[in-house]
């Protein structure tokens, strides 16, 4: 038998444009659940790979036709042929279920593999070994699937161990066994797949690391913004309260009525400062865009401002959603402080956040809040636009 195939066909050049597509070359059981390799949240039910990714494993199993042919023409005893068929069916079931388990968070690619992943890996090797008496050299066709499972479903160390072991075993069979030269094509495919798996897993891990660093950066900048907002709010309010308290003390004897007015102003300023701190802290506690939208709606409702939401906040990626959360918080704060608006419209679409109000519009000079929004958008690689909407309202747009 001189023609063999494996999960790494002529489509590899095109698929290498995307880390997740590269992972598909080996029909990996965990690649689709890796951070950075998926663009939607499986929990929402909108991730196509969480629903249909198992088809990739089924498609690649067509290359197990070679062990099937070997069993059909095997000259081994009937007992070994029966064992070979059972092992082949078990291998297929284990591989497909392992693939699905990996997509749903079974580990691998930078995350600790679950116990089930290790058991499945050992069982796949066992199925391949017990097939040897009935299939002979055609049992080498199991190796590409075992390699891919280790690369995407286990650890980086086991990727290298399995890849080196598979190449070594295939080379020994080709060059040392009688008639082994017939399986030279398998050796070439195993070696090529080792390179493909190495490159694709490296890309996926780099993507995951970049996403993690992006989340950490956005979170750090968000905390700095909260600290700045609280500092500015408290500093300004306490300064005014202190001045009015001094004035009220001086007027207490000479003009009691005016002193009462100043004390009333102090009470009002204190209440506003407390409300501002609570609003800022509530925004800081909102860790997702969904939570930030709820927080913004509560704050606007307290100020008798209606908020209208269009679109699905889950249409943004995790990194985009975190940046959008902070910009929405800044925009909400600006609306509460300066806009005198009655209605705020928020629109969320893939790669887009728009916040519009019907207030008095953008003032001549940009304050710290607007500068902060520009900086956040730039740090996230997004475009930021600020302008009027309608006759006098304000529009904030962030796009990726």
Residue-wise pLDDT for 82-110, tens only, equals 999 999 999 988 988 887 777 676 666 76
Task: Examine the pLDDT at 142 and tell me if it is beyond 80.
Answer: yes
pLDDT value at residue 291: 81
Q: How confident is the model at residue 270 (pLDDT cuts 50, 70, 90)?
A: confident
Decide which of 103 and 295 is more confident: 295
Q: How confident is the model at residue 347 (pLDDT cuts 50, 70, 90)?
A: very high
Decide which of 400 and 22 is more confident: 400
Summarize the confidence of residues 370-384 as an average pLDDT.
84
Give CATH for domain 286-400: 3.30.565.10
Of the listed ranges 35-39, 264-268, 369-373, the one predicted with least confidence? 35-39
Which of 41-50, 105-114, 362-371, 378-387: highest mean pLDDT? 378-387
Of the listed ranges 12-21, 285-294, 357-366, the one predicted with least confidence? 12-21
Summarize the confidence of residues 51-56 as an average pLDDT.
59
Q: How confident is the model at residue 123 (pLDDT cuts 50, 70, 90)?
A: very high
Q: What is the pTM of this model?
A: 0.48
What is the average pLDDT score of the chain? Answer: 75
Task: Examine the pLDDT at 359 and tell me if it is beyond 90.
Answer: no
Six-digit token string for 379: 């740090």
Task: Examine the pLDDT at 6 and tell me if it is beyond 50.
Answer: no
pLDDT value at residue 233: 59
């Amino acid at each position: 038998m001189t023609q063999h195939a494996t999960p790494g066909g002529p489509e590899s050049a095109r698929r290498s444009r995307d880390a997740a597509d590269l992972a598909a070359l080996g029909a990996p059981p965990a690649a689709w659940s890796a951070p950075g390799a998926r663009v939607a949240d499986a929990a929402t039910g909108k991730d196509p790979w969480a629903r249909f990714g198992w088809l990739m494993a089924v498609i690649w199993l067509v290359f197990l036709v070679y062990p099937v042919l070997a069993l059909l023409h095997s000259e081994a005893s009937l007992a070994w042929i029966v064992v070979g068929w059972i092992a082949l069916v078990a291998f297929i079931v284990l591989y497909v279920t392992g693939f699905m388990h990996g997509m749903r968070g079974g580990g691998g690619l930078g995350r600790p593999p679950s116990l089930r992943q290790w058991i499945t890996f050992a069982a796949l090797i066992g199925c391949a070994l017990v097939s040897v008496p009935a299939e002979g050299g055609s049992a080498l066709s199991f190796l590409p699937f075992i390699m891919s499972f280790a690369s995407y479903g286990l650890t980086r160390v086991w990727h290298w161990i399995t890849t080196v072991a598979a190449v070594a075993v295939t080379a020994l069979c080709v060059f040392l066994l009688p008639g082994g030269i017939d399986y030279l094509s398998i050796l070439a495919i195993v070696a090529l797949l080792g390179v493909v798996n190495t490159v694709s897993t490296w890309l996926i891990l780099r993507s995951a690391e970049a996403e993690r660093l992006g989340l950490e950066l956005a979170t750090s900048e968000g905390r700095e913004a909260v600290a700045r907002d609280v500092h500015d709010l408290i500093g300004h309010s306490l300064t005014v309260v202190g001045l009015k308290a001094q004035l009220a003390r001086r007027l207490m004897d000479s003009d009691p009525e005016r002193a009462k007015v100043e004390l009333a102003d102090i009470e009002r300023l204190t209440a506003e400062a407390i409300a501002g701190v609570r609003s800022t802290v509530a925004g800081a506690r909102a860790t997702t865009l969904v939570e930030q939208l709820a927080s913004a709606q509560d704050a606007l409702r307290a100020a008798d401002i209606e908020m209208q939401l269009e679109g699905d906040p889950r249409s943004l990626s995790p990194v985009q959603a975190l940046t959008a959360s902070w910009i929405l918080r800044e925009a909400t704060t600006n609306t509460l402080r300066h806009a005198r608006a009655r209605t705020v419209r928020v629109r969320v679409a893939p790669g887009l956040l728009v916040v519009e109000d019907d207030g008095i519009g953008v003032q001549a000079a940009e304050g710290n809040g607007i500068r902060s929004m520009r900086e956040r958008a730039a740090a996230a690689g997004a475009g930021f636009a600020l302008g009027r909407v309608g006759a006098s309202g304000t529009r904030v747009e962030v796009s990726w």
